[in-house]
Amino acid sequence: MKRVVVNDNMQKDYVYFLTERVGESFHTDFNPELTPKEMLELGVFGGKYMTDCVNEFPKEWFLNAKISVFKKDVNLNFYKVDASLSLSIWVEKGWIYEEDPRGWFQWYCRYYMGRRIETEDLRQIKRWKAIKRHIAAVKKNCSPGDLSCRKKQRQALLHWAYDSRLI
């Protein structure tokens, strides 16, 4: 079991433990199509999501990541559109778990690395599964492989580890 201590702009001395191997032992209902590294390389969250978290996660995640140091840049997103809600809206909606103040992607990165918190994991997996409805909307309204169709929905799917390039 590995101990991780987080000190970034949103958490000071937050400690968690990695109890599973990296990228393994996922819940049977959770089958993301993209790893956090792949998501960062494709371009998600305008490149601004984790610029102060590079010490928490493997350095190779950031080698080819599309990162914006100063502010969100939607041109770094794979589909070049903004498909994010502000953190304040996530807080208002009750979607933020206090141990993951950045939201779902932070949870996913930590889960991928091997952290497990049973009740929170089940809540986040339920939220991840609910996003799948956007795949049906893209399939219904777009020709297969037409990446110019429903770009905002496709970008949102990338934010949730669904590979919308394959729809």
Q: Does any domain span residue 22? A: yes
pLDDT at 54: 85
Task: Enter the DSSP assignment of 5.
Answer: E
CB count within 10 Å of CB 1 equals: 7
**85 confidence band (pLDDT: 50, 70, 90):** confident
**70 confidence band (pLDDT: 50, 70, 90):** confident
How far, CA to CA in Å, does 14 sit from each of 64, 100, 104?
27, 10, 17
CA quadruple 9, 15, 21, 27: dihedral, nearest 10: -90
Q: Does any domain span residue 37? A: yes
Give the chain's domain count.
Answer: 1
Residue 8, C-beta contacts closer than 8 angstroms, at least 6 positions apart: 52, 53, 55, 56
User: How many residues in the chain?
Assistant: 167
Q: Does any domain span residue 155? A: no
Which stretches does DSSP call E strand in 8-151?
12-18
Q: Does any domain span residue 118? A: yes
Structure tokens at 101: 């103040």
Q: Does any domain span residue 141? A: no
- 7's enclosing H/E stretch is strand 2-7
Q: Which of 88, 32, 84, 41 is nearest to 61 (CA)?
A: 41
pLDDT at 96: 80
Domain that holds residue 42: 2-124
Q: Does any domain span residue 113? A: yes
